[in-house]
């Protein structure tokens, strides 16, 4: 298709971009809140709930007239075409449609991000203190509140790993402290740290960046030579298509801050990787390592980890259940079942059984919305669990965090050290 034809199609057949879409209530009315996870636009849109069905047809194959007709057939309601046109115009103005305006803005934003000296700490001053001394005191308070722990003996002849939460510090602080205090020597002695974090807003298997990660303690330099090798395996275009999601994604930033804290501000080489979900493997009945790209990335990481003290960090939380995540309100019985499911997952990690871990997720089709599946699985695979290597975990902490004001939704988080 020619560029002119593509522009024509984009204008006639609107296509919604990959956005963060969440239910929202305001002044008693129900809306969908649309946000841009790549932050190419800082505009948020509220779409009235009755128009939600219309967005389903904004897929690049329907003209506005066809959307309205499909909407009427689906809902039985007559929608004036002017309402649909106004919605499409608002989406276009907010750069939420895949069209020429959006791609031009994206090009400029990517250039600005890559030209910057480092990735700015997006959550500093919001989720945690931006001032170094205040941050140090906050994290030290968490560390001092947990029981002293004996440091694990470290065998750096092979990579070691850990599971860290990436929930906000006020809710997950004690579990962060339990795992990172136990892993203090690992963090301090590591020469290379591979961060595998949940990509909350993208479906790409892997999303890389060559940008360095800043924290209030300074800058953790990205090992660009390693990123280049991974990009060759994944494909340059695919590896960086969603790079801008690194700017606002908390799963890597909140863990990088703890890493930098445990190193007393000393830098080390970093490989920050965002990992998309594994839902298609659940539907297909296959395992992720049967995917050629995923298998090659695991093998590449294993090769790159040799010859230096390598720490692999899975940044992932566990269950997300209740009305805040589209489920039923929790009661005493469902909480008990939830904790039992989490215990089974953690037991598989402690045993180093990566196949058993993924099978636990498959059996329930990830009904508990475990957002750390990909990072945990990839960490265990890279450590060699699939190939008979002795990978054992130590469970370091667990907590159930409220996720709504009614305490009917929760997020669960835990920590594990693989050594």
> Whole-angstrom Cα distance, residue 415 to residue 59?
40
Q: What is the CATH number of the domain that holds 82?
A: 3.90.930
My answer on whether 39 and 103 are in the same domain is: yes
| The pLDDT of residue 6 | 42
**What pTM was computed for the model?**
0.90
> Whole-angstrom Cα distance, residue 384 to residue 368?
27
* Residues 6 or more apart in contact with residue 407 via CB below 8 angstroms: none
> Whole-angstrom Cα distance, residue 276 to residue 199?
5
| The pLDDT of residue 223 | 98
- Is there a contact between 352 and 391 (Cβ–Cβ < 8 Å)? yes
Collapse the DSSP code of 85 into the 3-class scheme (helix H, G, I; strand E, B; otherwise coil) and give the result. helix
| The pLDDT of residue 58 | 94
My answer on whether 171 and 105 are in the same domain is: no
| The pLDDT of residue 254 | 98
| The pLDDT of residue 385 | 56
Query: Which one of 66, 87, 110 terminates a domain?
Result: 110
| The pLDDT of residue 28 | 87
Burial label for 60, CB within 10 Å (0-12, 13-18, 19+), is: middle
Cα 398 from chain centroid (whole Å): 20
My answer on whether 90 and 172 are in the same domain is: no
- Is there a contact between 164 and 196 (Cβ–Cβ < 8 Å)? no
- How many domains would you assign to the chain? 2
Question: Can you name the residues that pair with 296 across neighbouring β-strands?
Answer: none
My answer on whether 279 and 338 are in the same domain is: yes
Q: Are strands 310-315 and 160-164 parallel, antiparallel or unpaired?
A: parallel
My answer on whether 193 and 251 are in the same domain is: yes
The string over 31-52, giving b where at least 16 C-beta atoms fall within 10 Å of a residue's C-beta and e elsewhere, is bbbbbbbbebbeeebebeeebe
Burial label for 255, CB within 10 Å (0-12, 13-18, 19+), is: buried
- Is there a contact between 57 and 74 (Cβ–Cβ < 8 Å)? no
Q: Which domain holds residue 258?
A: 118-418
In terms of phi and psi (left: phi > 0; alpha: psi -120 to 50; beta: otherwise), the region of 288 is alpha
My answer on whether 69 and 145 are in the same domain is: no
N-terminal to C-terminal alpha carbon distance within the chain = 52
- Is there a contact between 154 and 160 (Cβ–Cβ < 8 Å)? yes
* Residues 6 or more apart in contact with residue 74 via CB below 8 angstroms: 53
Q: What is the pLDDT along the chain (419 residues), one digit of tens a residue?
A: 444 344 444 568 999 998 989 888 888 899 999 999 888 998 999 999 999 889 999 999 999 999 999 999 999 889 999 999 999 999 999 999 999 999 999 999 999 999 999 999 999 999 999 999 999 999 999 999 998 877 667 889 999 999 999 999 999 999 999 999 999 999 999 999 999 999 998 889 999 999 999 999 999 999 999 999 999 999 999 999 999 999 999 999 999 999 999 999 999 999 999 999 999 999 898 999 999 999 999 999 999 998 899 999 999 999 999 999 989 999 999 999 999 999 999 999 999 999 999 999 999 999 999 999 999 999 999 998 555 567 889 999 999 999 999 999 999 999 999 98
My answer on whether 83 and 15 are in the same domain is: yes
| The pLDDT of residue 8 | 42
In terms of phi and psi (left: phi > 0; alpha: psi -120 to 50; beta: otherwise), the region of 391 is beta
Instruction: Pinpoint the alpha helices (H) of 236-314.
Output: 236-240, 245-248, 250-262, 279-284, 292-305
| The pLDDT of residue 1 | 44
Query: Which one of 110, 143, 177 terminates a domain?
Result: 110
* Residues 6 or more apart in contact with residue 302 via CB below 8 angstroms: 159, 382, 384
Q: Pick from 267, 242, 247, 137: which is nearest to 192 by CA?
A: 267
| The pLDDT of residue 37 | 86
Query: Which one of 110, 136, 168 terminates a domain?
Result: 110
What the block records as the tokens of 47 is 């779409």
My answer on whether 318 and 179 are in the same domain is: yes
Q: What is the CATH number of the domain that holds 347?
A: 3.40.830.10
| The pLDDT of residue 22 | 87
* DSSP assignment letter at 324: G
Hunting for tokens 């001032």 — which residue is that?
131
Question: Can you name the residues that pair with 269 across neighbouring β-strands?
Answer: 192
Collapse the DSSP code of 108 into the 3-class scheme (helix H, G, I; strand E, B; otherwise coil) and give the result. helix
My answer on whether 105 and 128 are in the same domain is: no
């Amino acid at each position: 298709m020619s560029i002119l034809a593509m522009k024509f199609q984009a204008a006639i057949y609107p296509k919604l971009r990959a956005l963060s879409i969440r239910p929202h209530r305001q002044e008693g009315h129900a809306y969908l809140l649309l946000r841009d996870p790549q932050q190419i636009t800082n505009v948020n849109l509220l779409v009235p709930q009755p128009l939600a069905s219309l967005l389903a047809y904004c897929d690049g194959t329907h003209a506005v007239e066809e959307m309205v007709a499909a909407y009427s057939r689906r809902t039985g309601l007559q929608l004036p075409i002017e309402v649909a046109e106004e919605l499409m115009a608002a989406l276009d103005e907010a750069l939420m449609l895949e069209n020429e305006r959006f791609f031009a803005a994206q090009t400029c934003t990517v250039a600005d991000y890559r030209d910057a000296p480092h990735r700015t700490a997006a959550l500093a001053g919001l989720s945690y203190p931006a001032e170094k001394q205040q941050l140090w005191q906050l994290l030290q308070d968490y560390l001092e509140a947990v029981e002293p722990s004996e440091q694990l003996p470290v065998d750096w002849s092979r990579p070691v790993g850990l599971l860290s939460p990436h929930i906000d510090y006020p809710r997950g602080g004690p579990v962060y402290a339990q795992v990172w205090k136990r892993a203090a020597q690992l963090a301090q002695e590591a020469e290379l740290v591979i961060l595998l974090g949940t990509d909350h807003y993208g479906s790409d298997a892997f999303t890389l960046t060559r940008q360095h990660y800043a924290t209030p303690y300074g800058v953790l330099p990205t090992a660009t030579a390693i990123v280049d090798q991974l990009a060759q395996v994944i494909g340059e275009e695919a590896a960086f298509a969603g790079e801008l999601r690194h700017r606002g994604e908390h799963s890597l930033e909140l863990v990088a801050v703890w890493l930098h804290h445990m190193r007393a501000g000393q830098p080390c080489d970093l490989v920050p990787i965002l990992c998309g979900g594994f839902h298609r493997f659940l539907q297909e009945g296959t395992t992720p390592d049967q995917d050629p790209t995923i298998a090659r990335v695991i093998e590449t990481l294993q090769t790159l980890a040799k010859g230096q003290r390598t720490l692999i960090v899975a940044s992932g939380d566990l269950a997300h259940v209740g009305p805040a995540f589209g489920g039923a309100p929790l009661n005493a019985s469902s909480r008990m079942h939830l904790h039992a499911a989490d215990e089974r997952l953690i037991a598989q990690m402690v045993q180093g059984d990566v196949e058993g871990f993924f099978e636990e997720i498959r059996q329930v089709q990830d009904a508990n919305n475990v957002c750390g599946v990909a990072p945990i699985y990839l960490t265990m695979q890279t450590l060699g669990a699939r190939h008979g290597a002795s990978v054992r975990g130590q469970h370091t902490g667990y907590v159930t965090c409220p996720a709504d004001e009614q305490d009917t939704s929760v997020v669960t988080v835990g920590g594990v050290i693989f050594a």
